[in-house]
Amino acid sequence: MSGQHQYLVCSQRPGSPRVALEVCRICPKTKRCAAWRDFLCPPLFPGLDTQRTRPTNRLPRPAALVQATGAGQAWLPMAD
């Protein structure tokens, strides 16, 4: 063995072991595996997919704005 194997951390198996790429290629769970998907097509901007945390000291929306958004809009029938 030459030791030139690449490995991925498999989140589909218990304990998340490191698995060789040759094993990942034949795995039946590759369509829903996030590690395999990120290996094949890495994200262009990896930090953008994480959600920002909202501050805990944020004030709630005023009641006037909550009522004005979409609840009182009239719907018109579609023309045939």
**For the range 13-22, what are the long-range contacts, defined as Cβ-Cβ under 8 Å and sequence gap of 24 or more?**
none
**pLDDT value at residue 65:** 62
Q: Using an 8 Å Cβ cutoff, are 7 and 21 in contact?
A: yes
**pLDDT value at residue 3:** 64
**pLDDT value at residue 43:** 80
Extract the residue ranges of the chain whose pLDDT is less than 50. Answer: 1
